[in-house]
Amino acid sequence: MGVDYSEPVIGERIDGPANIRDGINGKLLFTLNNDVLVSCTPLENDWYSVGIFMDIDTSELTISTVKKGRKIIVDGKEVGEIKSDMTVYPRRGYPKVWIELTGHTHKDNIKPGTIIENALVDYLRSSGNGRTIAQLQPFIQQFELERSDQFKGYTLYTNYENWLDDPSPMWRIGLVFRNDRLVSILHSRPLDIAETTDYKLLRGFDCLVYNDVANPEEIVMKFSLFVNSVD
């Protein structure tokens, strides 16, 4: 499934309605409506761990349970329903109060085109999509990648892992440009791009470098040192 480039994707979206369970083929916890935005961990045994922040009222800051049948509200919009009583831990970030809802869902319940790794492979494979910053702008805007010029001679566009995977997240995808041309792709999840070589960095990161790029070891060394220096 391709990505609709008319609106931001930002992250994984539900292909639903979808059941969210307490484990693989486990107890049903809650359901989410079609196209709901979720945080999503890497696929494991055909299942994803997913999570959302559910709005609650400021008067509910001390609750410990949400009851079966309650509608799930996110940013003022109904997005699903609680299907089993759930133990919760309210959190406050002025002026909002929320609870984290997490569980597992089958891979078929996530729209493939909203997974950034899938979307990047499809975009680069599509006819007419080259490797300049201008040519990749629709993809950069679609996933709201952040620009960084902190590395001399390189321009990066990155997004980050989410709160489910790491409370202090590092990059998930990094598009590395040199002289306005995509030369490398940093990644923390599996990614297979044609005409590249995958180099292992420190701390579990990988660095794809295009085979037509001179001095790939310079890129690998630069970013390997960087990821090792980040707390």
Do 42 and 140 have their domain in common? no
Which of these three, 65, 81, 112, is where a domain ends?
112
Do 23 and 80 have their domain in common? yes
The phi and psi torsions of 29 (rounded to 5 degrees) equal: -100, -50
Quick one: tokens of 2?
């391709």
The phi and psi torsions of 86 (rounded to 5 degrees) equal: -130, 135
| Residue ranges making up the domain that contains 166 | 116-229
Q: Residue 199 and residue 31: Cα distance in Å, rounded?
A: 40
> pLDDT means per 10 residues in the chain (231 residues)?
62 95 96 96 95 95 96 96 97 89 97 94 82 93 93 93 74 94 94 94 87 93 78 53
* Predicted pLDDT at 6: 59
Residue 11 included in any domain: no
For the chain, the domain total comes to 2
Do 213 and 120 have their domain in common? yes
Q: Residue 172 and residue 159: Cα distance in Å, rounded?
A: 6
pTM reported for the whole predicted model: 0.88
* Predicted pLDDT at 1: 42
Residue 180 included in any domain: yes
Quick one: tokens of 106?
């089958």
Which of these three, 112, 143, 162, is where a domain ends?
112
Residue 34 included in any domain: yes
Do 145 and 169 have their domain in common? yes
